[in-house]
Every structure is written in C-alpha cells, then in structure tokens.
Structure 1
Amino acid sequence: MTSTQTLVIYMAILTWLTLLLASLIRVKGWTPSGTLIALGNRDNLPEASPLAGRAERTARNTLENFVLFAAIALVAHAAGATSPGIATGALIFFWARVIYIPVYVAGIAYLRTAIWVVSIVGLGMMVSGILR
C-alpha cells in the first residue's frame, strides 16, 4: 500500500471521528439525557449551540473534502501515477485537515480559511501529479 493510500484510510478515520464528535456535541452525549438522544432516532434534536453548529459544519466540510481527496488518490493509484507531488500533496492535504478541524470548531475564522486553502493546494498538487 502506498503512503497516499494509507492517508486515505487515515482520512476516513478522521472524517468518521469528526462526524461522531459533531453528533455528540449536538446532543451532549456525555450526559444521561444526551446519551438517550444519541441512542435514539434523533427525531427531536435540541437546538444547535454555536459550538455544535461549528462542529456540524466542520464535519460536513471534512466529509465533502474527503470525497475529493479519496477520488483523486484512487485515480492516481488506478492510473499508476507515481509523481512525488502526489504523495507530497496528500501529506499537505491530510495535515492541513488535521489542523483545520480544531481551528474550525474553536471558531477561528480567518485562520480556518487559510488552512482550508492549504489543503486545497495539496489537492491541486495531487491533480497536477496525475496529469503530468
């Protein structure tokens, strides 16, 4: 397995954890009543607090970007593309996302956007490596 494929797996785990965290924050899953909501059908979710809203938006953004990353990484693998730019771009994307998640949840607006741009640059490097 290549380092890029390993990062796809790590990113899948990170995405799942981000989705789980957002859900638990929304229902306050660490409380007895929140645990009951989390284990139920979630028909009557409480209103999202600002933190829960940011966590949900972080999770959605992480999922959206993971889809792009996985598609690009899998196309690179299927095409047999081995450019160093692909692996470097994947690393940049992954670590930018690792930093992005807590920054977004914390509500640091402009830094969040700058980090997102860095992750997109990583995706661009991967695409460029494939098209060469």
Structure 2
Amino acid sequence: MRVAVELQLLAIAVLVGLVHLLWAAAAAQPQRGLKWNVGPRDEPVVLTGMAGRLERAFANFRETFPLFAAAVLVTYLSGRIGYLTAHGALLYVAARVVYMPLYAFGIPYVRSLVWLLSLIGLGMVLAAMVV
C-alpha cells in the first residue's frame, strides 16, 4: 500500500518539530540549569542569544504545525490530494526545515521570507479544498 506523499510529509514535519524541541532544550540547558529543569518552573527564565531564538522558533513552529496537520488530514480524508497538496506540503516542510537554522543564527529578512514560503505552502494545501 502506497502512503500519500502528503502524509509522509506530515510525518517529516513531526520529526522537524522534535528537532526543534531537542535543539531548543539543549540550547536552553546552560541558561536554565538543572535546578530549573527538575523543579516546578515557577520562576521564568528569559533566554538570551541562540537559546532564546531557538525557543521563539519552536513557538513559531507550534503555531503553524497544527494548522498544517489539519489541512493535510482534511484534504487527504476528503480525497482532495493531488499536485497542489503535494507541492504545498513539500514547500511547508522544506521552509520549516530551513527556517530553524536561519532563526537560530539570527539571520533577518531571509528568515521572514522563508516563513512566508511556509505559509504559502500551507495555503496551497488549503486551496486544494476549493479548486
């Protein structure tokens, strides 16, 4: 049985999210320390530098990923997958992969353009529901 490319890309997007999580956590560890990690986390720690950027990049991923997942699942379940959904899903995932290091290393402008590309990819998946 062949798995739709959109579902494969959804699985890859989950892996991208895990990389976000692990990279952000590893970068934050030196600033937060073990006591914060094992404690109740009542006191917020404002992360700086790359750790802060990775935390914000992961927050941004968490904002768009549920929308992407819902769009892929709805188009798949409704039988609307095709050229538009496959290329839109690929654009979303590829842009999210590129976005992470751009944000981590503080590269302006290009990062924002790549974020826009990920939204265009998401929009392409959604557009398949009406075209």
Q: Does 1:65 align with 2:67?
A: no
CA distance in 2, matches of 1:114, 1:74: 26
- The residue number in structure 1 matching 2:78 is 79
Identity, in percent, stands at 33
* Superposed CA offset, 1:72-103 (max 9, x none): 00001111112211001000111011100100
TM-score (norm 2): 0.87
**Paired amino acid for 1:104:** Y
CA distance in 2, matches of 1:40, 1:17: 24
Contact 2:6–2:89 (CA under 8 A) maintained in structure 1: yes
Structure 1: which 5+ residue stretches go unaligned? Answer: none
Contact 1:37–1:45 (CA under 8 A) maintained in structure 2: no
User: How far apart are 1:28 and its partner, in Å?
Assistant: 2.3
Contact 2:92–2:122 (CA under 8 A) maintained in structure 1: yes
- The residue number in structure 2 matching 1:89 is 88
TM-score (norm 1): 0.86
Q: Secondary structure at the match of 1:101?
A: helix
Q: How many pairs align?
A: 129
Structure 2: which 5+ residue stretches go unaligned? Answer: none
Q: Does 1:25 align with 2:13?
A: no
Contact 2:46–2:52 (CA under 8 A) maintained in structure 1: no
CA distance in 2, matches of 1:36, 1:7: 37
CA distance in 2, matches of 1:49, 1:127: 36
Q: Calculate the aligned-residue CA RMSD, in Å.
A: 1.9
Contact 1:90–1:122 (CA under 8 A) maintained in structure 2: yes
Contact 2:53–2:106 (CA under 8 A) maintained in structure 1: yes
Q: Does 1:4 align with 2:3?
A: no
- The structure 1 segments of at least 4 consecutive aligned residues displaced by more than 3 Å after TM superposition are 33-47
CA distance in 1, matches of 2:77, 2:106: 38
Q: Secondary structure at the match of 2:129?
A: helix
CA distance in 2, matches of 1:96, 1:53: 20
